[in-house]
Amino acid sequence: MAHIWPIGGGKGGSGKSFLASSMGHLLAKSGKKTLLIDLDLGAANLHTMVDVPYPEKCFSDFVCKKIPDLEDIVLQTPFSNLFLISGAHDNLDIANLQYEKKIKTLRAIAKLNYDYIILDLGAGTAFNTLDFFLASRNGIFITTPEPTSIENVYRLIRAIYLRRIRHFFSTNDFKALEKKVREHLGDDSFYKPEHIVSVIKKYFPEKYELIKKDFSFFRFKLILNQLRKQDNPLLGEQICKVIKKHLGISVEFAGNIAYDEHVHDAICQRVSFLERYPHTHAANDLRVLNRKMSNAFGEQLMLNYI
């Protein structure tokens, strides 16, 4: 089964598509059959990053049943071993993908035959984004060292946490739980997952054990993008520490990617950054990250959708 790496970041412009295309290039170059899926529904542009300016088929065709098999909308890119499912000409209402279609997509993704599948997700914390992110246990968070971006990545992590907890409860149970949380922490409780978990621990100890066990299988990673020279290089480690200590989720800090003006140049020229500027700091960071991550991920498990 393919290794699936969902890439999410909460905030737009934090480098999700850049990371997805770069990782795709590196994995393809090392001989792995790699598929990039643009799941930034409604704001897709991964095709531009991998030099497929006029994609003939796109994700919408699959959703609208125009093309029944997900495999048939896969596009060739100019790079060997690298494939793409584009979202370029998606219908304008694609952002509001219905639940059944989302599940259908996830099932289809699980059946694809590739070594690596990278999901480029959109900004924000819509249910679609959360569910695609939770498709695999190997989700990658990306953020830049700016308060706006960090704020959104924390929101995303909390939203994902809550979404996963929600899986363990039926609708009625969850309502009962919600009521209990409000009773305990007041109506203005922040609806933070860590508060909810403390209530679950008290009133649903068996559920708590299940959730705890479930989360221990996740191998989340955090990448800090656009790190300038004056930024604190330890920021990523510290963020992971805060998440571990206060949310109880372990997120491993994978590494920094240096800020580089050349990334902008490469995107404007619509060429691969790694090929055009292979000797920059950022390119080097990407290679180190790729090497580290392809070794670090263990067993691949697709959640609940098979």
Partner 1 sequence: MEKDFDQMNYYEILDVKPSASTAEIRSAYNEALQIYQPESLVSYSFFSREERNKILSLLEKAYLTLINEVQRDKYDTETNLKGSSGSAEKDAIIKKEPMNIFEINRQAFNSVARKNHTAELKTKISQSQLIKEILSRQEIKGADLKAIRNELGVDIETIHKETKIRLECLICIEADDREKLPAAVFLKGFVKAYLKSLCIESADVISALYMSSITTQKLT
User: CA–CA separation, 68 vs 249, rounded Å?
Assistant: 38
Number of residues lying near partner 1 (CB under 8 A): 25
Please give the residues from 57 up to 76 whose contact with partner 1 meets the rule CB under 8 A: none
The amino acid sitting at 182 is R
Stated length of the chain: 306
Q: 161: which 2 tokens?
A: 């946490």
User: CA–CA separation, 290 vs 301, rounded Å?
Assistant: 20
213 binds partner 1 (CB under 8 A): no
Q: How far is the CB of 238 from partner 1 (least distance, A)?
A: 4
The bridge status of strand 34-39 relative to strand 116-121 is parallel
> Cβ closer to partner 1: 238 or 269?
238
Q: How far is the CB of 215 from partner 1 (least distance, A)?
A: 7
Which of 190, 191, 203, 217 touches partner 1 by CB under 8 A?
A: 190
User: CA–CA separation, 183 vs 287, rounded Å?
Assistant: 50
Query: Which of 261, 15, 259, 5 has its CA nearest to residue 149?
Result: 15
Q: How far is the CB of 82 from partner 1 (least distance, A)?
A: 35
Q: Is the dihedral of CA 165, 104, 99, 127 positive or negative?
A: positive
Q: How far is the CB of 239 from partner 1 (least distance, A)?
A: 6
Q: 128: which 2 tokens?
A: 């679609």
Q: How far is the CB of 184 from partner 1 (least distance, A)?
A: 13
Q: 164: which 2 tokens?
A: 């996963």
Q: How far is the CB of 125 from partner 1 (least distance, A)?
A: 14
> Cβ closer to partner 1: 52 or 249?
249
Cα-Cα end-to-end distance for the chain: 11
User: Which segments of the chain does DSSP mark as H helices, in order?
Assistant: 16-29, 46-49, 59-63, 99-111, 127-133, 147-167, 171-185, 193-203, 205-216, 235-242, 261-269, 273-276, 281-296
DSSP bridge pairs for 191: none
Please give the residues from 235 up to 254 whose contact with partner 1 meets the rule CB under 8 A: 235, 238-239, 241-242, 245-249
The bridge status of strand 82-85 relative to strand 75-76 is antiparallel
The bridge status of strand 34-39 relative to strand 75-76 is unpaired
Stretch that binds partner 1, among 59-67, 233-241, 269-277, 280-288 (CB under 8 A): 233-241
Q: How far is the CB of 237 from partner 1 (least distance, A)?
A: 9
53 binds partner 1 (CB under 8 A): no
> Cβ closer to partner 1: 99 or 190?
190
> Cβ closer to partner 1: 241 or 291?
241
Q: What are phi and psi of 84, to 5 degrees?
A: -145, 140
135 binds partner 1 (CB under 8 A): no
Which of 54, 147, 187, 229 touches partner 1 by CB under 8 A?
A: 147
Q: How far is the CB of 154 from partner 1 (least distance, A)?
A: 5
Stretch that binds partner 1, among 42-50, 51-59, 73-81, 142-150 (CB under 8 A): 142-150
Q: 215: which 2 tokens?
A: 């989360």
202 binds partner 1 (CB under 8 A): no
Interface residues with partner 1 (CB under 8 A)? 145-147, 150-151, 154-155, 190, 194, 197-198, 211-212, 215, 232, 235, 238-239, 241-242, 245-249
